[in-house]
Amino acid sequence: MTINYTDLISSSTVAKTALTLCLALALVLSITCRQTHMRAHTQNQDNKEEILAQVDLSATMKHIRAILSKELPDIVLLPNSPTHISAFRQSTASYWAKQESEATPAIIPQPKNALSLSTAMKLINRTFTDCITSTDPERRADVEGLFAIRSGGHSPISGAASVCNGVLIDMRSFDDVEISEDGKSVRIGVGARWGDVYSALEERGLAVVGGRNAEVGVGGLVLGGGGIQTTASATSHPDLGRALGGGSNNFGIVTHITMPAFPCANIWSGFLYMPSFQAPKVLSAFHVSVNKVLSADPDDAYDSRAAGPLCCFTYLQALGMQAIAVNLVHTNPLSPDDANVDKGASAWPKAWRTSPFASLFRFWSTCKLRSLNDATREMSKLNPSGRRQAFGTTTVANDLSTLRAAHQVYRDSIREIKRRRVKGMSWTLVLQPLLPQWAGLGEDNPLGFHSSKTMGSDASDANQARAEEPLAIVSFTVNWAEKEDDVLVQGLIRRAVERIEEAARGMGMAHRYKYLNYCDSWQNPFEAYGEGEHMWLREVAEKYDEHGLFQRGFAGGFKLRDNDASINSKEVLRVF
């Protein structure tokens, strides 16, 4: 039976009020459930034994732990030391994704400066090099996954910023934010979180181009974008500087990032919360808004200050309901041409006031004038820490039929979730634009757009041909309650992404690019950069990391070497 929800809504004010109250109650219940789950998680941590049990470490790891403890006693934490237990737990329990906090490292160095970090990496690298150059085959093999690096700890991939029975280098002390005297640049420690960065800049009326979630760490986001200290930039080690902008953690440990700053007053930002039956109109509004970049009409032209739209379609399993949230942003809402100065804090800038989103029925809106810091903190509250998390992503052309196909896959997956009885799941499909205007901004990078490194078929394939067309990043952000559902949920995400890619290829609307920070462990974002860029990144890695410490010794993240997906992906294939 099909129900026309539009008729129900338009025919009754009572229905509007009731649905508003229902959604408000649903969100309150959802937040309450998450807070209860987080309290239970904290209590479980407190109930652990005061001294963690000694694990059976490899011979190589025992040696590394011994020399780190001897050479750097003031910065290391040990799991079986009564004096370290509180700080050790604080480090391992402060991840965004719960599964990351379940790995117990053998030792945690918390370097306070570049010298102590460099010393730690020299000791690890020395042992690694001795092993791989040994004539003993067992020693040569005992080098995989020796260490991990944690900045903000916001990745949902197990092992990306955690390690079991290895060395966890905790960069939380590198959280300084130093603004230049002229206010034109800011030097940021990779252990800082974007909310802290924006708070410091807000005092000077400044901003930088950074993360939209206050709790995300600086290091992992920018790079998703050992031993020797160096500076990488367009003028100093330019190949390394270019490689870091998308090459992730394959080249060394970054301690600080210097970014250009710019004046920034309040922005206009917030969410529109809508009932799920508005999905067809939201998809159409997304398509129309993003396609404005192609418009030749000056009255309907793309406004570079209008960020988004970010469209989220969510199924809340515990409540048995779906909802839509659309994030809209305008970075200069008080400009004279918008004529909104006297219309109050919630007045819509022209770019969004004239968009299809303005006329859509919604339960409520949080859009208003606010600081950049406040806007990112609203984003972080929608998906707090303490839950099991997973991502998955692909990229397609901004084609309405393809977007509809992606949404249909999302809906089909909900039926599977109900059938499998996955507990406490929040299943969200996210659409966000990737515009051709953005590809040429900033410094040169290896992401494969307008690439100077393209080779072979890369230069003539559909991806290069679409360099001037708007794209849509399609991703899933999913959280759930129980560890027993990990493999099942990751399988659901993988199957959904592959179905969307299959549909997009069938329509001629697929694109190879995969945003690294949204990829799951079974995906390979570097292949999506193109053959030329992938090969070039490998060459840079070999130049600065001759023996492959960050390809073999580093536990998590995406590697430049050939890989056959993750262990989890193999388990997924058995489930489906």
Residue-wise pLDDT tens digits, 106-165: 999 999 999 999 999 999 999 999 999 999 998 988 999 999 999 888 888 877 899 999
Burial class (CB in 10 A: 0-12, 13-18, 19+), 18: exposed
| Fold classified for 177-263 | 3.30.465
CA distances from 439 to 218, 240, 445 (A): 21, 20, 9
pLDDT at residue 112 in the model: 94
Tokens of 141: 């093999």
Distance between CA 8 and CA 14 in Å, rounded? 10
Q: Which amino acid is at 12?
A: S
Q: Which residues sit opposite 260 in a β-bridge?
A: 185
Provide the 3-class DSSP secondary structure of residue 566. coil
What number is the average pLDDT over the span 360-370? Answer: 95
pLDDT at residue 106 in the model: 97
pLDDT band, residue 105 (cuts 50/70/90): very high
For 484-530, the pLDDT digits (tens) are 999 999 999 999 999 999 999 999 999 999 999 999 999 999 988 88
CA distances from 71 to 68, 150, 167, 168, 473 (A): 5, 21, 15, 16, 46
| pLDDT above 90 for 23 | no
Distance between CA 131 and CA 128 in Å, rounded? 5
What number is the average pLDDT over the span 265-280? Answer: 95
pLDDT band, residue 19 (cuts 50/70/90): very low
pLDDT at residue 253 in the model: 87
pLDDT at residue 51 in the model: 41
187 contact partners, CB below 8 Å, separation of at least 6? 176, 177, 178, 180, 256, 257, 258
Distance between CA 548 and CA 251 in Å, rounded? 9
Q: Which residues sit opposite 109 in a β-bridge?
A: 76
Distance between CA 544 and CA 388 in Å, rounded? 35
Q: What is the mean pLDDT of the chain?
A: 83
| pLDDT above 70 for 227 | no
What number is the average pLDDT over the span 53-81? Answer: 90
487 contact partners, CB below 8 Å, separation of at least 6? 568, 571, 572, 575
Tokens of 134: 């040994």
What b/e sequence results for 399-409 when a residue is b if at least 16 CB atoms lie within 10 Å of its CB, and e otherwise? beebbbbbbeb
| pLDDT above 90 for 250 | no
Say what the alpha-carbon torsion angle 529, 531, 534, 536 is, to the nearest 10 degrees: -120
Tokens of 88: 């050790």
pLDDT at residue 232 in the model: 64
Q: Which of 224, 290, 84, 129 is nearest to 528 (CA)?
A: 224
| pLDDT above 60 for 348 | yes
What one-character-per-residue DSSP string does 172-186 give? TT---EEE-TTSSEE
What number is the average pLDDT over the span 538-550? Answer: 91
Provide the 3-class DSSP secondary structure of residue 329. strand
Q: Report whether 382 contacts 471 (CB < 8 A).
A: no
Q: Which of 389, 518, 484 is nearest to 97 (CA)?
A: 389
pLDDT band, residue 358 (cuts 50/70/90): very high
Most confident of 117-131, 222-236, 426-440, 449-463: 117-131
Domain extents for the chain? 5-46, 59-170, 177-263, 387-576
Cβ–Cβ contacts within 10 Å for residue 298, how many? 6
| pLDDT above 80 for 296 | no
The helix/strand count (H/E) of the chain reads as 18, 18
CA distances from 556 to 77, 100, 157, 160, 564 (A): 21, 11, 8, 4, 14
Q: Report whether 466 contacts 511 (CB < 8 A).
A: yes
Q: Which amino acid is at 239?
A: D
Phi-psi label, residue 40: left if phi above 0, alpha if psi -120 to 50, beta otherwise = alpha
What number is the average pLDDT over the span 213-239? Answer: 68
Torsion sign over Cα 133, 131, 246, 312: positive
Unique residue bearing structure tokens 């997973």: 390
| Fold classified for 59-170 | 3.30.43
pLDDT at residue 346 in the model: 66
pLDDT at residue 196 in the model: 93
Q: Report whether 306 contacts 349 (CB < 8 A).
A: yes
What number is the average pLDDT over the span 260-280? Answer: 95
